[in-house]
A and B are shown apart, each in its own frame.
Chain A
Amino acid sequence: MIRFLNVSLEHAQRRGIDNVTFSIAKGEFVVLAGPTGAGKTTILRLIYQELFPDSGQVMIQGQFQHKVSSKERAIKRREIGIVFPEARLLHDRTIFDNIALPLYITGETRRRIQLQVNRLLFRFGLKDRGKAYPAELSTGEQKKVAIARALAVRPLILLADEPLAHIDGEACAEILEHLCQIKEEGMTILAATHVADPYKSIANRILQIINGRLTE
């Protein structure tokens, strides 16, 4: 599903990744663990094509990621669900509209949007929070909204960057439970984290990255 072949990328002012090679099979839950600045987010950004490698090749679903037109890139991104470290919800929109955003982009009908978002609100225990605004939610609830938004278009791959960051123990357990369910549904998950322990029981593999190099 995801394959990196000797991928290197140097950022202008900080370390990137150096000769990274790994692959993730369909339906696998892989955790990318390493300290801050190790290159975890760089790997995720290479997958959703916000960055391109200096050398080596990135392959997603059997296709090499080439520098394509921005339109094609946008359409490819619709197959990937992304959970950002700070949740990145739009604060001037309701929770319903935040979850529905990718569906508006892909042009789903009003009825299907209603159905899908309500289903996700229910699944994440937020069914009464649809009309609330992000500021009215706890950090844990915001994370759940971010995951729900990533799942809205039923992506093939879920990329989660620090999904447990800034949340307490109970909310962490809930998020892990949701990630576990998503894995069981057969979705490929790559989660980046600086603390791997919480994932040990649910992840198929943990990849260690230090100073831009994988040390599996």
Chain B
Amino acid sequence: MNISLLFILKESIEGLRRGLFHSFIAAAAAGLAMCVLGLFAYGALNLQRTAQGLLNQMQIEAFISLALPESRHSDLQRAVETLDQRWQVKYVSRTEAASLFAREFDSQLFDVLKANPLPASFKITLPLQSVQPDSFRSAAARLIALPGIEDAVYDSDLLNMIYAGKQRLSSWGYFGSIAIILIALGLIFNAARLKIDAQRDGIHLMSLLGATPWMLRGIYLTQGAILGGIGGLVSSILIVGLRFVVQMRLAGGIDLVLPHPYLPAVGGLLLGMIGGGLAVGRYLRV
């Protein structure tokens, strides 16, 4: 193994052992930072996923004119499907509409009316990437333009609300994550600086005895990676545990996702390295 690498590894590990208190503070800072960052990122992701799930359930209902004979409904379905082949089109006959209505509202109503006033319809689900207000507006307009379609409706208020909420979540997610990453880096940087400051005489001495700046920087990069990694690993375990507890409480409810649960550990390792590397910089000007 390279001699500098051996020196770096030896000094890193012994340095952690010698300054146990400062090492603990630095690992705790990294763990706390990665916990906050992980909870925020996974929380934002799950909220976004919930919003997207709600959006995916949105449909356009295109009502077929009562004047159009039922025998022509299948022709009309083909015409609707031709408008955009990615649409999922489901035909709801007048009888099905009546039974749906009866199930949801008043089953007695048709007995009073003695006839079924509800038109047949198509329930159209747009492809996932098109679930946004503009796509719904233009799809509804194209449907209404078809001869035989009486009206095309969707809950635009609900759509606008969920869509705007999802967009806001997305922006806040990005900006929030960047802000928390910077705060986490600051926290780790300061914890690392505290540790390095306690060893500044040693750094200066090693430099005068012939240690190159990269050998010294390497020690603190390695220590930062180890402490950040440990802190991040603890936060990964805490987040996975928290998800398990919350999921138990939400029994039968929303399914929380936790993609790549090792990310806080990797993030801690990287932020630890960056924090350690930056913090030692000012002590290397010898």
Contacts and interface: CB of A to CB of B under 8 A. Distances in A.
A and B: partners? yes
Which of A48, A71, A92 neighbours the largest number of chain B CB atoms within 10 Å of its CB? A92
A144 interface: no
Contact of A105 (B19, B206, B213): B206
Interface in A79-115: 82, 88, 90, 92-93, 101-102, 104-107
A74 B3 contact: no
Interface string A62-81: 00000000110011011000
Interface stretch (B4-12, B51-59, B70-78, B138-146): B4-12
From A71, A88, A105, A106, name the one whose CB has the most chain B CB atoms within 10 angstroms. A105
A200 B195 CA distance: 45
B18 interface: yes
Contact of B215 (A50, A88, A92, A105): A105
A77 B210 contact: yes
A115 B11 CA distance: 21
Interface string A103-134: 01111000000000000000000000000000
B255 interface: no
Interface residues of A, number: 21
A10 to B, nearest CB: 19
Nearest to A81: B209
A171 B2 CA distance: 41
Contact of A48 (B3, B18, B202, B208): B208
Contacts of A104: 7, 10-11
Given A90-B201, A105-B215, A75 B7 contact: no
Contacts of A78: 209-210
Q: Which secondary structure characterizes the binding site on chain B? A: helix
A74 B212 CA distance: 5
A153 B208 CA distance: 13
21 contacts: A50-B208, A50-B286, A70-B212, A71-B212, A71-B214, A74-B212, A74-B213, A77-B208, A77-B209, A88-B205, A90-B201, A90-B202, A90-B205, A92-B18, A104-B7, A105-B7, A105-B209, A105-B210, A107-B4, A107-B7, A149-B209
Given A88-B205, A105-B215, 16 more contacts: A48-B208, A50-B286, A71-B212, A71-B214, A74-B207, A77-B210, A78-B210, A82-B209, A92-B18, A101-B209, A102-B209, A102-B210, A104-B11, A105-B209, A105-B211, A106-B3
